[in-house]
Amino acid sequence: MSRLVAHLAAPVTHEDHAQGRQDAAAVTLLQHGDYECPYTRLSRHSINALQREFPDTVRFVFRHFPMAEIHPHARAAAFAAEAAGRQGDLWTMHEYLFEHQRALRDADLHQYATDLKLEPVRFERDRTSPEVVRRIDRYRASGKRSGIMGTPTFYVNGVRHDGSFDVDSLRAAVATVMERPPA
């Protein structure tokens, strides 16, 4: 069983990007991730498995934590995801960025927006907007306050999961939370 220790500095709000029914979710699995991080990409398989296994129990929340010092295109990719989100297509772009992780330059991001049939002028405007930049900076700052040193970093109901991100470890963390009586 994994050990849960540190707490999330900024609680999940309606402004977070979430998948799953908030009203039915007993567990919120939050990930701080980086689109250029190969481990964040790999963790998607575990997340997808848990979402299939617990569709009404687990809500998934993603927060950007671009580690630009080692992943030079991660920040631009996060901006692209947010810009797609402003057109209602964050999750499609989210998956697309991971599928095309080795090609995250500006021209690539513009092509992905075209592939997803996003309005190109709006996409470019939103991608560089002060609101998008502030949002990414807020996520990064809250991650630092939470003690995040790398990606992916997971929290289960606001408590950091220090175990592996394989599906069995994350399932055990989710099960532990589900077994606790409500406070």
Distance CA 5, CA 52 (A): 27
Q: Which of these, 43, 73, 13, 7, lies nearest to 169 by C-alpha position? A: 43
Query: For residues 4 and 162, is the Cβ–Cβ distance under 8 A?
Result: yes
Query: Residue 180 burial (CB < 10 Å; 0-12/13-18/19+)?
Result: exposed
Is CATH 3.40.30.10 correct for 4-179?
Answer: yes
For the cut 60, the answer to whether the pLDDT of residue 183 exceeds it is no
Of the given ranges (73-82, 132-141, 169-178), which has the lowest mean pLDDT?
169-178
| Domain residue extents for the chain | 4-179
The set of residues, in sequence order, having a beta carbon less than 8 Å from that of 43 and lying 6+ positions away, is 31, 33, 152, 154, 165
Residues 105-148: tens digit of each pLDDT: 999 999 999 999 999 999 999 999 999 999 999 999 999 999 99
Q: How many other C-beta atoms are found inside a 10 Å radius of the C-beta of residue 168? A: 12
Q: Reply yes or no on whether the pLDDT at 44 is more than 50.
A: yes
pLDDT of 43 over the 60 cut: yes
pTM (2 decimals)? 0.92
The pLDDT of 64-81, averaged and rounded, is: 97
